[in-house]
């Protein structure tokens, strides 16, 4: 069984004191944390970027995930400002699909305001053959990834 102690800064949000960690500027669109045991990447998104920048960020994230041999990705959009149109969502989904390993579990965390976005991205990424879930609580996302690691045959 895989277990890990979570770092305190996984709870950061735009108005959370953890968001003021060294090297963070409030105008940045996101913060990320890499967990080494197990290899899970966590991204807390504050607001979306213009489509071209979002596409480049998605391509780069896919490369980082592949090169780092991550087993899970949690994309936390709770409280995020979302301003993509339909084409923007398609562009980002295509960019994610270009480099993400198919065995990776991607979990979108959402709230009431970002639920539609998480649902749309889940559908678009699943159409590309990626494993994607959407949830409202970090603990559930974390558990889903750990369950996949502990029971790979069940996936």
The pLDDT of residue 148 is above 50: yes
d(CA 23, CA 137): 27
pLDDT tens profile 52-62: 788 888 888 88
The reported pLDDT for the residue numbered 13 is 41
Q: Find, among 58, 5, 4, 52, the residue nearest to 32 by Cα.
A: 58
Report the predicted TM-score, pTM, of the whole model to 2 decimal places.
Answer: 0.76
pLDDT at 15: 42
Query: Which pLDDT belongs to residue 122?
Result: 95
On whether the CB atoms of residues 25 and 90 are closer than 8 A, the answer is: no
Mean pLDDT of the chain: 75
Give 16-69 pLDDT, tens digit per residue: 433 333 444 455 555 555 555 567 888 888 877 777 788 888 888 888 888 888
How is residue 81 annotated by DSSP? B
pLDDT at 9 over 70: no
Fold of 29-150: Transcription Regulator spoIIAA (3.30.750)
List the beta strands (DSSP E) in the chain. 30-36, 39-45, 72-76, 105-109, 131-135
């Amino acid at each position: 069984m895989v277990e890990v102690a979570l770092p305190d800064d996984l709870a950061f949000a735009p108005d959370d004191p953890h968001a003021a960690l060294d090297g963070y500027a409030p105008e940045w669109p996101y913060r990320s944390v890499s967990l080494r045991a197990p290899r899970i990447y966590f991204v807390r998104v504050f607001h979306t970027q213009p489509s071209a920048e979002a596409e480049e960020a998605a391509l780069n994230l896919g490369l980082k995930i592949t090169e780092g041999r991550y087993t899970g990705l949690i994309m936390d959009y709770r409280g995020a400002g979302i301003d993509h149109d339909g084409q923007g969502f398609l562009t980002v989904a295509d960019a994610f699909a270009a480099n993400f390993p198919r065995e990776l579990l991607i979990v979108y965390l959402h709230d009431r305001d970002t639920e539609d976005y998480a649902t749309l991205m889940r559908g678009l990424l699943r159409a590309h053959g990626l494993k994607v879930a959407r949830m409202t609580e970090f603990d559930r996302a974390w558990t889903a990834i750990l369950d996949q690691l502990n029971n790979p045959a069940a996936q």
